[in-house]
Amino acid sequence: MKKKIILIVDDEKDMRELISICLQGEYETVEAEDGESALELLDAQVIDLVLLDVMMPIMDGFSVLKEMKQIEKVKDIPVILLTALGDTEDIVKGLNRGADDYIIKPFEPREMIARIQSVLRRSTILEEVFELHHLKFDQEKYQVTYNGQVVPLTKKEYKLFFRLASHPGRVYSREQLVELEWDFSFDGDARNVDAHIKNIREKLKKTKYPHKVIETVWGIGYQVVQELS
Q: What gap in Å lies between CA 165 and CA 157, rounded to an integer?
A: 12
Partners of 52 in beta bridges: 9, 81
Q: Write down the pLDDT at residue 33.
A: 94
Q: Of how many residues is the chain composed?
A: 229
The pLDDT score that the predictor gives to residue 134 is 94
Query: Is residue 110 within 8 Å of residue 90, measured between CB atoms?
Result: no
User: Is domain 129-224 in CATH 1.10.10.10, yes or no?
Assistant: yes
Q: Is the previous residue joined to 106 through a cis bond, with omega within 30 degrees of 0? A: yes
Sign of CA dihedral 102, 143, 126, 224: positive
The phi and psi torsions of 58 (rounded to 5 degrees) equal: 70, -65
Within a 10 A sphere around the Cβ of 224, how many other Cβ atoms?
A: 22
Q: CA–CA separation, 218 vs 156, rounded Å?
A: 23
- Whole-angstrom CA distances from 90 to 84, 94, 100, 155, 157 are 10, 6, 14, 26, 25
Q: Hey, is 78 helix, strand or coil? A: coil
- CATH 3.40.50.2300 domain extents, the chain: 5-125
Cα torsion angle, 132, 134, 138, 141, sign: negative
Predicted local confidence at residue 85, as pLDDT: 65
User: Which element (helix H / strand E) includes 198?
Assistant: helix 191-206
Backbone angles phi, psi at 45, to 5 degrees: -145, 170
Q: If we measure between CA atoms, which residue out of 39, 51, 103 comes closest to residue 75?
A: 39
- Per-residue pLDDT, 186: 46
Nearest to 167 by CA among 80, 62, 84: 80
**What is the sign of the dihedral through the CA atoms of 30, 53, 183 and 171?**
positive
The packing angle between helices 191-206 and 155-165, to 10°, is 90
Average pLDDT per consecutive 10 residues, the chain (229 residues; last block may be shorter): 87 94 92 94 91 91 90 87 75 82 87 87 65 89 92 92 87 82 57 90 95 92 89
- Report the top-level CATH class of 5-125: alpha beta
- List every span in the chain annotated with CATH 1.10.10.10: 129-224
pTM of the predicted model as reported, rounded to 2 decimal places:
0.58
